[in-house]
Structure 1
């Protein structure tokens, strides 16, 4: 299995599947040359190079968050290389994602007494045109300070546990800083991809947490209606990181799907 994560990743599913990880250009792992171009096509070329180097005829792909967009594009471009795809809380349109979570952020900012920041969130959420990477929505959302991470979890306790996990990871400050060198890919997150779903031909599974604020309900519904060989699984006690909040159920669901369609 090829795992494509949106940022620095970790997962309990390793005990169930032999897997690879994408050459993480900038997400705390692999250093990129300053003059090396970086876009989704370059990543897909990397995926194919790794697959061929390992002598794998075809494999399953799991894409989390922004990685869900890379996985979709990969499956569409190289269907002969992809036996099955798991889309884990995929970001297929940053505009739709921001319009889902900005009002939630605004409400929490108001509760914290940050009225101006809350107003900025609501103003951006009501933008007549598309929200783009240039709008830098994350900056206004980070006005939540310590509670920013709570946006991505079903419970505050899960967020705190995740913070402890990051603190114990052992990465240096320099390694964490590399996580920002994926910036050239942010524009790709805001390119609408939902319309591409109808062209998906390989078996696929969309999984998401009930509290996730990345994949909007209307996108899940579009997936249900447009993807002929697709299925959906919702984790009732999770947000954006079901593999952290419900690891056993997550591993079981993913392993079952992969064994059925890609073993």
Structure 2
């Protein structure tokens, strides 16, 4: 069934899904993209996690089922953070934990650094902390897939750009990745997916509805790229975040590259790393049972210690 409802947040209708009991500790899920949706996360994880937590999942401002961003409307990266904080207050949540997937991990780091008092714990699922580093890694995987289908010209262009010692802007790297990966056609999602044993059923909405949703999301993504704040590396912020953080990495994920993992390991004061084998960019649906178990174990460790300390 269609679980969500529209909630007016800072003057815009935001699509919000709520699962679990009101009295339970809250989790906010932040999807990736920019411009994806909470749909596949809710499909695979909402019922699993809501047995222990109050789960809040949103389509971010201007994305998919949320209200579109109008022409000439002001919109910036900071709006996404302020929307989260205002939603927390609207739902009367004192503190919540975050699960940030991909670009949602980027948002989670930024949110945690700006509003540390609002956050219990942070789970970063195959995140990007730095669009330049992620784009280079994505270009390398695009090269391998292009070579496999015989498109050697694109493969060479990808590798040349990914491995260049010259200074190339984050904007150019991302733009070229988007351009070159599009040449893969139907094979493009192989960049991200590896284990397809747990597919998402998208039939809740028609093909026409999904097309309309993602037309809105494209405006969201284009405006973030035009503003340019997403091109700022968040790696320096990791050492300043004191709440416990769990970094989830995966064997075939090209987004969280080795340099980002090393920086997290060295910089995150309360950071842990869990690795998923035989998994691509989305462990929450490629290995949903283990993902749920890892999340529950990480979040309940603090809750248990708090309960014990009160006895």
What TM-score, normalized by structure 2, do the two folds share?
0.77
Equivalent position to 2:142, from 91, 98, 105: 105
Structure 1 runs (4+) greater than 6 angstroms displaced: none
Structure 2: state its 5+ residue gaps: 1-26, 305-311
- Identify if the C-alpha distance between structure 1 residues 214 and 189 changes in structure 2 by more than 3 Å, giving closer, same or farther: farther
The equivalent residue for 2:232 is: 191
Residues 1:13 and 2:13 are matched in the alignment:
no
Query: 1:124 offset after TM fit, Å?
Result: 2.0
Structure label with greater radius of gyration:
2
Query: 1:86 offset after TM fit, Å?
Result: 0.6
Cα distance in 2 for residues equivalent to 1:261 and 1:41:
29
Query: 1:169 offset after TM fit, Å?
Result: 4.1
Higher fraction of strand: 2
Cα distance in 1 for residues equivalent to 2:245 and 2:74:
30
Query: 1:165 offset after TM fit, Å?
Result: 3.1
Cα distance in 1 for residues equivalent to 2:128 and 2:236:
13
Q: Secondary structure at the match of 2:294?
A: helix
Cα distance in 2 for residues equivalent to 1:53 and 1:103:
43
Post-superposition Cα deviations, 1:196-253, rounded to whole Å, max 9, x if no partner, equal: 1111111111112111000012211211121111111111121101011100000111
User: Between Structure 1 and Structure 2, how many residues are aligned?
Assistant: 258
Cα distance in 2 for residues equivalent to 1:185 and 1:89:
20
Post-superposition Cα deviations, 1:61-101, rounded to whole Å, max 9, x if no partner, equal: 11110011110011011000011111111111111112212
Structure 1: state its 5+ residue gaps: none
CA RMSD across the alignment: 1.9
What TM-score, normalized by structure 1, do the two folds share?
0.90
Cα distance in 1 for residues equivalent to 2:73 and 2:302:
36
Residues 1:178 and 2:226 are matched in the alignment:
no
Q: Secondary structure at the match of 2:54?
A: coil
Query: 1:262 offset after TM fit, Å?
Result: 5.6
Q: Bigger relative contact order, structure 1 or 2, given CA contacts below 8 A and separation 6+?
A: 1
